[in-house]
Structure 1
């Protein structure tokens, strides 16, 4: 029996499941982080100004596709099962990567990046749904945190891989390289048992889909946690979209960006891995209400320092604090996702899609507001960390009042 009392689907070993779900989730990050070192080459290759912030649209449009398409995947995966829909997402992911690699203009590039994001939405929604099929409560939080720790390997190495590919070829090679991962995953997923048996599948009708969406929006624990994740992602997406530009234009360190980004990702992964081993001992709720206020306080202090320094605090101090904030928030994020999914066991596919759309799509919009303000200063970014963090903390505390809604 599953922790929820439902018949238990056949499983692979939990350790392999964690690594596989981490790899599935990592397709999202690989589509972003590997391309970051190529921003300068993309500007030159497609006729943009050397300091043009428009290149950040390759990240933003990817996130829009990632967010919006999850609503399509959710109902289909609740009807047809997890694996067939996962394969469909990987196929679109590959198509978007191929289109980006062959793009003759910036317009075609960002259109292909949108398709790429639509493909990435499948693995994004499915990894969360599969986790909820098999676990709940603090065990789900522990597993999702362990998945996040595996996931963080990709942001650590992806910029370095991108830089290595650039040394061998052009930015087009960087865009095409993630297709290798989709082939590996397509073969590995053969080993993954279907986690949604036929007797638990839902009819694919507008009425049943609307019912599931309403269930997400009317459950205060779920919607509050999803909105908290959204504001957290808004700040982090703004960092992803502007980090290379800040390293280059504000600090003159664009040539070593990939190494610093990799080091940050390793630190984040170590924090998440260590924290995941403590979730069932300390409890996800206690960790959330302790760590989120700490990140808001650090963000506010960093924003004040940056303002006093005219938008250019010392590089090492700024980067060290950003690494700590990102590491703690990256650990807390899957715990809040687990809380959001807690009451949604019978609607895991659609619920994960709705939650993903809210958090990813809303986060992309929030990031876009900040990216447009970043020009020669880190102040807009760190103010977003403080402001978005405070709002997200408010939603997390509001959701906490309704934990009794978990069935």
Structure 2
């Protein structure tokens, strides 16, 4: 990995590049870990709170977490652009640890919900700050390469989370699983003391409502940032459907519910592998070209998936389905982190607000687009495949718009 620009390097003091990337990757994974580590504790929690074995009330611990995260994007992004990166990162980690501790010590399920909401609200901070700090240090191709390394942890966290949660349950109660969130926040906050500020005071924005709103609007109206942000969000409509519907597809359509866990684990490893391969490929291939190629592959594989559904009346051979379905989602995994770097690259000191705008757009629009696909699973893969084709096609068009805007901006710079 080539050295970043000299100005950024002097602001990082004793943090070496590999340590910096590892710290950013772990910081970025805090949100995913907060979701996946607690799932193994649900059985013990049902007993502790006298719930029925089939009670779905614990699913609200995930829902309120996501609601909190969605709101947190709009707070921590502008704060990071106004107060500086490190101070806001430490604030969010402190709140993250407090939310986890409230949930761990909760006497009632309602207090667990409150703790999870605070926990989710705070989790938006590390996610946004990791992207903004990386953008402060890197530009262009190097930014794309570092983002792909960080993304490896995003894909591996859903695998590691349940393993960690189950391991903690072996030595303690469900409360210790929640308290693990506090421990990780404290550890990262201590580590963050080695991270110098990356946003100089002269580049900070005033902290005011009109400034925040204008910053969010500016980010999404930017032809490059807005185009790639929407391309990511549309792609996540398919990816969120993959997360939400895979178990139902394997159970209802193929009668293989026991295949879900190994398939999900394998997909996490494969997507992590795609992110690593992307990192290596970006040494030779321009980030915009790689993202466009991955988006094109996503569309082609989605069309293959649709063809498979049509010729088999929606119930293809399970192995043929899994191979094509996995390949399509792996193509999306090749596009996502690179497109994120392309969206952030023009933002400069506005990177915190831009990361917030991108995160909120992906969360909200992606969830809305995934919902009809999830509901369409009824004995056939064809409706899901149709959704994949539509979303992949729209995403590719948005990428082409963003790419053209980048080329026009470059031409203007040369004049």
- The structural deviation recorded for 1:393 is 1.6
Candidates 152, 168, 190, aligned match of 2:155? 152
- Asked if 1 retains the 8 angstrom alpha-carbon contact of 2:94 and 2:186, the reply is no
Candidates 138, 141, 158, aligned match of 1:138? 141
Aligned to 2:308: 305
Q: 1:383 to 1:138 in 2, by over 3 A?
A: same
> Does residue 17 in structure 1 map to residue 20 in structure 2?
yes
Aligned to 2:34: 31
- Partners of 1:380 and 1:55 in 2: CA distance: 30
For residues 309-342 of structure 1, what are the alpha-carbon distances to aligned partners after superposition, in whole Å with 9 as ceiling and x for unaligned? 5655444333333332222322311111111112
For residues 166-197 of structure 1, what are the alpha-carbon distances to aligned partners after superposition, in whole Å with 9 as ceiling and x for unaligned? 66677665555433322321222122222112
> Does residue 188 in structure 1 map to residue 191 in structure 2?
yes
- The structural deviation recorded for 1:345 is 0.7
* 1:380-391 to 2 correspondences below 5 Å: 380-391=383-394
- Partners of 1:42 and 1:258 in 2: CA distance: 22
Aligned to 1:265: 268
Flag the structure with larger Rg. 2
For residues 80-131 of structure 1, what are the alpha-carbon distances to aligned partners after superposition, in whole Å with 9 as ceiling and x for unaligned? 11112112222333344345554844x7665554433211100111011001
Question: Bigger shift: 387-396 or 367-376?
Answer: 367-376
Q: 1:89 to 1:253 in 2, by over 3 A?
A: farther
Q: 1:311 to 1:182 in 2, by over 3 A?
A: farther
- Asked if 2 retains the 8 angstrom alpha-carbon contact of 1:36 and 1:244, the reply is no
For residues 374-400 of structure 1, what are the alpha-carbon distances to aligned partners after superposition, in whole Å with 9 as ceiling and x for unaligned? 466655544433322222222111111
Question: 3-state DSSP class of the match of 2:164?
Answer: helix
Question: 3-state DSSP class of the match of 1:191?
Answer: coil
> Does residue 289 in structure 1 map to residue 292 in structure 2?
yes
- Asked if 2 retains the 8 angstrom alpha-carbon contact of 1:98 and 1:175, the reply is yes
State the TM-score, normalized to the length of structure 2: 0.84
- Partners of 2:160 and 2:54 in 1: CA distance: 26
For residues 251-289 of structure 1, what are the alpha-carbon distances to aligned partners after superposition, in whole Å with 9 as ceiling and x for unaligned? 555556444322221111112112112213111111112
> Does residue 280 in structure 1 map to residue 271 in structure 2?
no
Aligned to 1:354: 357
Candidates 339, 344, 348, aligned match of 1:345? 348
For residues 142-175 of structure 1, what are the alpha-carbon distances to aligned partners after superposition, in whole Å with 9 as ceiling and x for unaligned? 1111111244332332233344456667766555
For residues 25-67 of structure 1, what are the alpha-carbon distances to aligned partners after superposition, in whole Å with 9 as ceiling and x for unaligned? 1112212333456677778977578496x87665454334323
- Partners of 1:292 and 1:128 in 2: CA distance: 22
- Partners of 1:265 and 1:394 in 2: CA distance: 27
Superposition CA RMSD, Å: 3.4
State the TM-score, normalized to the length of structure 1: 0.85
For residues 291-316 of structure 1, what are the alpha-carbon distances to aligned partners after superposition, in whole Å with 9 as ceiling and x for unaligned? 11111221232244346556554443
State how many pairs are aligned: 405
> Does residue 213 in structure 1 map to residue 216 in structure 2?
yes
> Does residue 405 in structure 1 map to residue 409 in structure 2?
yes
- Asked if 1 retains the 8 angstrom alpha-carbon contact of 2:8 and 2:137, the reply is no
- The structural deviation recorded for 1:241 is 3.1
- Partners of 2:87 and 2:41 in 1: CA distance: 33
Question: Bigger shift: 297-306 or 392-401?
Answer: 297-306
